[in-house]
A and B are shown apart, each in its own frame.
Chain A
Amino acid sequence: MTQAPTRHERYFADHQALAAASPGPAWLDTLRAAGWERFNAIGFPTARRGNERWKYTAVAPIARVNFAYPFLPPDNVGGPEPDFGFAAVSAAADFDGETGDAIRQHLGRLASFEDDGFAALNTAFLRDVAVVRVPDGSGAPVAVRVNHAATDGPDVEQRYARHPRTLILAGRNANLTVIETYTGPPGPRYFTNAVTEIVVSEGAQVDHYRLLNESPAAYHVGVTRVHQARDSSFSSASFALGTALARNDFAVTLDGPGAYCSLNGLYYTGQGQHIDNLISIDHAQPHCTSRLNYKGILDGNSRAVFGGEVLVRRNAQKSDAQQTDKNLLLSEDAEVDSKPSLLIYADDVQCSHGATAGQIDAQTLFYLRSRGLDLAAASRMLISAFAREIVNTVKPQPLRDYLDSLFDRNIAVKTLPVGR
């Protein structure tokens, strides 16, 4: 194999070792090689050269570490999460037979790695794919969970990267619920580089939940690409508990009249943490509706970046798009960069956006205290009420209850911004 001179030797060596240890069907080998080539050419993104997509987030902490590939068995078994009563999907994909055909047909189609170093790197390490597939015309509800649980690598001195991949194929009129969770051991600064592709066929309804519950010291970059056909419905809720650096790059293409998407998110960050949500919605066809509602709770000196991009193409008349991003700051030192952007080329559309960031309202706090709640209890009640709007979009009750208490437990009220 001849390659351009590589700047990422550790990744290159592991990529080659993976190709040798786990040869796939020819198409997979080719895809992996293409991923590597692209990554080697463009590398990690930088904020320089007017790269709006990475304007407020520096990936240097990830780029400067030589993360190793751990060569562990498919990593989605176990983990600390409860099963919510949902069947688990293994990441040990079967590349043969009918499923293999479907994977070959769809894998890498939505998550283009042309301009995306992280997606390219993920593709260079393609081995395990969690595949969720509901055939055309099967309207019976299907509910599954995909748990990408990182485990410690073989060498305690080494820092590891994993590249989880998920492919969700909802056939015509399918009714599918997927819970996608990312967990890992506390402590080591490992790196999760995830890619998820979701195909929502005509008339299908998909409820997608994404939970990032990794080590507080982890790095997480997640790319999610969703393609919706005519009259399909896609509802998602993404939950993130703080990590050292987290990126949620989530893009939906509404590619058939009557398609509807509702994208909700809740994130919490504490001291030293950074989260970057880049949510893009492409109204590519007329008569589509999109709703975007993200909420952040920021403590310590943490920082949140929110980019909400809505594109309404020329032919996409009667588009209806609403987006909001609200942030609750628990500390004077926390900071939000919220940057909604609307690119509208059609004339008959309804679009709105709004962003807020503020501390707990002093008057509200006094109202609670005047009923006997102390400052800490009052703050906690108001913070969980703020979060609840998003938690309440979760339909499966066990998951909703779990998230409610997960966030309550994690949001320690350390700093109280308003006082006596």
Chain B
Amino acid sequence: MTKMTNNNPLLSVRGLHASAGDLEILNGVDLEVNAGEVHAIMGPNGSGKSTLANVLAGRPDYTVTAGQAIYDGEDLLALEPEIRARMGVFLAFQYPVELPGVRAWQFLKAGVDARRQHHGEEELSARDFDRLLREKVQMVEIDPELVRRAVNEGFSGGEKKRNEILQMAVLEPRLALLDETDSGLDIDALRIVSDGVNKLRSQDNATVLVTHYQRMLNYIRPDKVHVLLDGRIVRSGGPELALELEEKGYDWIREAASYE
């Protein structure tokens, strides 16, 4: 059983600073996400959106130099990436990795079993996992043929993105971080991926979407929209902020931010 989130946010990020080598990328990010919410993070190229998502997922390339992230009452940044995953954090990669020779079935089952063991549950039988996978394949409308192949190997850009959503559906995260999962999707795929996210949405979990475009937000209505600029969240608002950005670009925010 997962803890009920009695008024505490599912994720609370405070003053987060992170760097890669000598390069400081995140310069004090503050973000609160409650269970049941969908947040969108927008911002120009290179502003640190992927870095934020990857730091939360535990990518070893980054060093956190200050700040904290509390997830479900735990000090998230102190945990190995696999422990975060088992506790329900999921990152859909901006650039999913090809795994030649790794069968999707085996890969996903290992992830599901690792999570179950973490929660003191038994591994799934092959049969039960088969059933689970088939159900999720139908749910996210992915070509079953893709699941028989090696993970992401030779997949098109859009197929890789769909496959991230399949993984999300199978692993049933409490906190899903989707890093530009909408980029490179055709209109049908965008609808399917958005449907997938909406179907998985519940009072107990939350989604953070990193995106450049309004179009996915037409399908998945966010509770909050944030603008990340030079490693900081400089403005937050409702869904209307995304429309405004689409219309006006980032310069006005950049100017406004520089007066603060």
A372 touches B171 (CB 8 A): yes
List the count of A-B residue pairs having beta carbons below 8 Å apart. 79
Residue of B nearest to A386 (CB): B101
14 A-B residue pairs with Cβ-Cβ distance under 8 Å, sorted by A, are A366-B58, A368-B99, A369-B80, A370-B59, A370-B82, A370-B90, A371-B85, A371-B107, A371-B108, A372-B86, A372-B114, A372-B115, A375-B82, A387-B101
CB within 8 Å for A373 and B97 given contacts A366-B59, A381-B106:
no
Interface residue? B147 (CB, 8 A): no
* Distance in angstroms between the alpha carbons of A288 and B91 in the assembled complex: 49
Q: Which residues of A contact B21 (CB under 8 A)?
A: none
Interface residue? A364 (CB, 8 A): yes
* Distance in angstroms between the alpha carbons of A72 and B81 in the assembled complex: 57
Q: Which residues of B contact A385 (CB under 8 A)?
A: 99-102, 150
CB within 8 Å for A420 and B102 given contacts A372-B85, A377-B114:
no
Interface residue? A41 (CB, 8 A): no
A366 touches B60 (CB 8 A): yes
A389 touches B107 (CB 8 A): no
Interface residue? B167 (CB, 8 A): yes
Produce 1/0 per residue, A374-395, CB < 8 A to B. 1101100110111111000000
Interface size on A, residues (CB 8 A): 25
A369 touches B101 (CB 8 A): no
Shortest CB-to-CB span from A4 to chain B, Å, is: 54
B99 interface neighbour in A362, A367, A370, A375, Cβ under 8 Å:
A367
B114 touches A374 (CB 8 A): yes
* Distance in angstroms between the alpha carbons of A374 and B101 in the assembled complex: 19
A366 touches B81 (CB 8 A): yes
Residue of A nearest to B116 (CB): A372
Known: A366-B58, A372-B82, A372-B86. 4 other contacts (CB 8 A): A364-B97, A366-B81, A370-B90, A371-B110
Q: Which residues of A contact B67 (CB under 8 A)?
A: none
Interface residue? B219 (CB, 8 A): no
* Distance in angstroms between the alpha carbons of A387 and B100 in the assembled complex: 10
Q: Which of B58-95 contact A (CB under 8 A)?
A: 58-61, 80-82, 84-86, 90-91, 93
A371 touches B97 (CB 8 A): no
Chain B contacts to A: CB under 8 angstroms:
57-61, 80-82, 84-86, 90-91, 93, 96-97, 99-102, 106-108, 110-112, 114-115, 118, 150, 167, 171
A419 interface neighbour in B59, B60, B82, Cβ under 8 Å:
B60
* Distance in angstroms between the alpha carbons of A389 and B99 in the assembled complex: 12
A362 touches B111 (CB 8 A): no
Produce 1/0 per residue, A313-334, CB < 8 A to B. 0000000000000000000000
B85 interface neighbour in A369, A382, A388, A420, Cβ under 8 Å:
A369
Chain A contacts to B: CB under 8 angstroms:
362-364, 366-375, 377-378, 381-382, 384-389, 419-420
A363 touches B107 (CB 8 A): no
Q: Which residues of B contact A384 (CB under 8 A)?
A: 101
| A-B interface, 5 closest residue pairs, ranked by CB to CB distance from nearest | A385-B101, A372-B114, A371-B111, A372-B85, A367-B97
CB within 8 Å for A369 and B107 given contacts A374-B114, A389-B100:
no
B110 touches A377 (CB 8 A): yes
Residue of B nearest to A364 (CB): B97
* Distance in angstroms between the alpha carbons of A156 and B129 in the assembled complex: 53
Q: Which residues of A contact B110 (CB under 8 A)?
A: 371-373, 377, 381
* Distance in angstroms between the alpha carbons of A387 and B150 in the assembled complex: 14
B111 interface neighbour in A372, A375, A382, A420, Cβ under 8 Å:
A372
Shortest CB-to-CB span from A371 to chain B, Å, is: 4
* Distance in angstroms between the alpha carbons of A419 and B59 in the assembled complex: 11
B107 interface neighbour in A362, A366, A368, A419, Cβ under 8 Å:
A368
Q: Which residues of B contact A362 (CB under 8 A)?
A: 60-61
Q: Which residues of B contact A419 (CB under 8 A)?
A: 60
The residue in B59, B84, B150, B171 that gathers the most chain A C-beta atoms within 10 A of its C-beta is B59
B80 touches A370 (CB 8 A): no
B82 touches A388 (CB 8 A): no
B93 interface neighbour in A367, A369, A373, Cβ under 8 Å:
A367
A369 touches B82 (CB 8 A): yes
* Distance in angstroms between the alpha carbons of A369 and B82 in the assembled complex: 5
Shortest CB-to-CB span from B100 to chain A, Å, is: 6
Shortest CB-to-CB span from A419 to chain B, Å, is: 7
Residue of A nearest to B81 (CB): A369
* Distance in angstroms between the alpha carbons of A370 and B102 in the assembled complex: 16
Q: Which residues of A contact B61 (CB under 8 A)?
A: 362
Shortest CB-to-CB span from A89 to chain B, Å, is: 33
CB within 8 Å for A364 and B99 given contacts A369-B82, A370-B91, A381-B106:
yes
Shortest CB-to-CB span from A328 to chain B, Å, is: 11
A389 touches B101 (CB 8 A): yes
B114 touches A370 (CB 8 A): no
B150 touches A420 (CB 8 A): no
Shortest CB-to-CB span from B90 to chain A, Å, is: 8
* Distance in angstroms between the alpha carbons of A389 and B163 in the assembled complex: 22
Shortest CB-to-CB span from A336 to chain B, Å, is: 20
Q: Which residues of B contact A378 (CB under 8 A)?
A: 82
Shortest CB-to-CB span from B21 to chain A, Å, is: 14
Residue of B nearest to A387 (CB): B101
* Distance in angstroms between the alpha carbons of A368 and B109 in the assembled complex: 12
B102 touches A381 (CB 8 A): yes
Shortest CB-to-CB span from B38 to chain A, Å, is: 21
A370 touches B81 (CB 8 A): yes
Q: Which residues of B contact A381 (CB under 8 A)?
A: 102, 106-107, 110
* Distance in angstroms between the alpha carbons of A373 and B167 in the assembled complex: 14
* Distance in angstroms between the alpha carbons of A373 and B61 in the assembled complex: 18
The residue in A367, A387, A388, A389 that gathers the most chain B C-beta atoms within 10 A of its C-beta is A367
